[in-house]
Chains A and B, each alone.
Chain A
Amino acid sequence: MSTLTSERAADTHGIAVQQVVKAFGAGSAAIRALDGVSVDIRQGEFFTLLGPSGCGKTTLLRLIAGFEMPTSGAILLDGADISALPPNRRPVNTVFQSYALFPHLSVAENIGFGLKMMGRSRTEVADRVARMLALIQLEPMASRRITQLSGGQQQRVALARALAPQPKVLLLDEPLSALDAKLRKEMQAELKRLQQETGITFVFVTHDQEEALTMSDRIAVMSAGHIQQVGTPREVYTRPVNRFVASFVGETNFISGEGGADGVRLGNGAVLPVSGAPNGPVTVAIRPEHLMLCASADQGAMAAVVERTVYSGTDTHCHLKLAGGGTLTARLPTLVSGEIGLSVGDKVHVRPTPGAVQLLAD
């Protein structure tokens, strides 16, 4: 294990999390917040840890920051093991969920805090603070107290404070959760811009799958102390490896059937076209927006009855009851559903769009 570590370490840039276990409590009462997590985060990427609360994503972030020590395993930064270093000796800064801005210091003093602690000269600190203030467009607020700022402004100061020392890695712990929807959208764009401008590795923790999909270069989907899947937003969304990922990232229909050479045969006789299905019972996932109304003779057509329709602007969600049992949700463009006057009780046929049927591992 240790020889493997050093071999891999030599040419690794970015963060390597290797077989990390973090247990809280002792003995039989111990809870494994992280249960053997390994992941490589590349230098300069926007990497998101996505998962429900309690999945271990914040624990992993705190381990990278140095606020917690791993029970076992190692964390490497640019090939060097940093697992045992205290937070103040890691070139890693954090944007906290609560911001944790120092209430006794001004905006400028907050932003300059890290550099001051590093012992940088007064002029260098002032210079960098001025540039950070320009970056977050809060120059007129330099001498304000933290309590005089709005939530969005505090958010930007927290970001500037963490970026000012030019860390190798910026950790963001659900930093947008306290903002209202409109501001959150603006900050998402701003974060992405800052990440691209600075080229710093961002590790972003969120439980919001939409946020993860829109901002990330790559996403690690976590659940119950394990990483379920690592991939680009497109990979994670279109090719989820298991039922958890498929259901946590976006909405999904799960359909059980019998695998065979021609695809997956459902209980009602319809055959969904999918290659590589093993013989025997399998589960497939189909996104609601990948279902379309069709003629009964089409390949993969499934007969269904409309149970309920939910209008949501551009799209209308149609809850369908399949002939032969089971339910499906189809997200149809309102233009289409409106045109044909779809209403409760209608008998329809739906089929998946080509390539939309995903085989799941479990």
Chain B
Amino acid sequence: MAEQRRHFSAADIPGFGLTAMAVFVALYLPIVTLVVYSFNASASVAEWGGLSLDWYRKAAGNAEVLNATANSLIIASLAALFSTTLATLAALGTTRRAPFRGMTAVYAAINQPLMVPEIVTAVALLVVTAALKQATGYTGLGYLVMAHTAFCIPFAYLPIRARLEGMDLSFETAAADLYASDWQVFRHVTLPLLLPGILAGAMLAFVTSLDDVVITEFIKSPGQDTLPTYMLGQLRRAMTPDVNAISSMLMGVTILMLFAFFLLTRKKA
């Protein structure tokens, strides 16, 4: 026992540091470049012309950008609200009851959007929404909200279910013992204890909706561009640095949301 043997450490493998560096460069170099160039004074995307906020100003003054931003925020907020509500009900339904036959199949069914290729879902939604538009004459943002709600459900469901599974049923039993009706148990015990999970789920759903290109591109009507599809459209014409500025802002929002998500899920422990 005189000499303690050193434990195996992955950091001792030759080339560990170099590999790690390479991975981080590949991950972050493009993003750093993008953010740096969003402050470029030059009109070219490739040439540095000094620091400037021009592209942010330009993006903020562009009616199309503002419209796309509004669409993005409306769709993401509503999709997050609806998908989180549905996901909460689904999570309660799959954890707050005795295990039943086919429970695994139900989990898989709820998480369908994670398994079916997005492009397939997009084409399928295109077919359905086209038929609906024809039949009802309604062409508003509702279709996008509906579609985003559907594919956001598993992103909201997973953290909520994880939280519920980690939550001891004895709190709910104790509440029922203390004269709480089923609704009061939910309102005063289950819901407050579940809230961090619900907020985390809503945040993930919001970010997922905000970043979506494929499905939105397929089913949007004219004038219904979201920020990602607007940028994609810009790319087809001439690439201007205001796209850099928009991307940087989008990324900022996403990072903020994910940061909040980690804070909320960490609080659980």
Residues of A whose CB lies within 8 Å of any CB of B are 65-67, 86-89, 92-94, 96, 98, 100-104, 113-114, 117-118, 161-162, 165
Contacts and interface: CB of A to CB of B under 8 A. Distances in A.
Interface stretch (B15-23, B185-193, B221-229): B185-193
Interface string B156-176: 000000000000101101111
7 contacts: A87-B173, A88-B176, A101-B174, A102-B175, A103-B193, A113-B188, A114-B179
Interface in B6-37: none
A88 B180 contact: yes
Contact of A100 (B170, B180, B184, B188): B170
A88 B181 contact: yes
B192 A104 contact: yes
B181 A100 contact: no
A96 B193 contact: no
Nearest to A97: B170
A118 B184 CA distance: 10
Question: Which label, helix, strand, loop or mixed, suits the secondary structure of the B interface?
Answer: helix
Contact of B168 (A93, A98, A104, A117): A98
Nearest to A65: B177
B170 A87 contact: no
B123 to A, nearest CB: 45
Interface string B185-216: 00011001100000000000000000000000
Contact of A117 (B170, B171, B180): B180
Given A94-B177, A96-B170, A98-B168, A117 B192 contact: no
B116 to A, nearest CB: 38
Contact of A118 (B176, B179, B189, B192): B179
A88 B177 contact: yes
B46 interface: no
A93 B178 contact: yes
A114 B171 contact: no
A165 B179 contact: yes
A86 to B, nearest CB: 7
A165 B174 contact: no
Contacts of B173: 67, 87, 96, 100
Nearest to A90: B177
B174 A94 contact: yes
Nearest to B172: A100
A87 B168 contact: no
A102 B179 contact: no
Contacts of A89: 179
Nearest first, the 9 closest Cβ-Cβ pairs linking A and B are: A114-B178, A100-B174, A100-B170, A117-B179, A117-B180, A87-B176, A104-B192, A88-B179, A94-B177
Contacts of B177: 65-67, 87-88, 92-94, 162
Contacts of B175: 102, 113, 117
Contacts of A104: 192-193
Contact of B178 (A66, A67, A86, A165): A165
A67 B188 CA distance: 19
B220 to A, nearest CB: 42
Given A93-B178, A100-B173, A117-B179, 17 more contacts: A65-B177, A66-B177, A67-B176, A86-B176, A87-B173, A87-B176, A88-B176, A88-B181, A94-B174, A96-B170, A98-B168, A100-B171, A103-B171, A114-B178, A117-B178, A117-B184, A162-B178
Given A104-B193, A117-B184, A96 B174 contact: yes
Nearest to B181: A88
A101 B175 CA distance: 9
A117 B171 CA distance: 15
Contacts of A67: 173, 176-177
Contacts of B188: 113, 117
A161 B178 contact: yes
B153 to A, nearest CB: 26
B194 to A, nearest CB: 10
A102 B174 contact: yes
Contacts of B192: 104
A92 B174 CA distance: 12
Nearest to B192: A104
Contacts of B193: 102-104
A66 B175 CA distance: 13
Contacts of A98: 168, 170
Nearest to B195: A104
A101 B173 CA distance: 11
Contacts of A87: 173, 176-177
Contacts of B178: 88, 93, 113-114, 117, 161-162, 165
Nearest to A93: B177
Interface string B115-136: 0000000000000000000000
B179 A100 contact: no
Contacts of B168: 98, 100
A54 to B, nearest CB: 20
Contacts of B184: 117
A345 B174 CA distance: 58
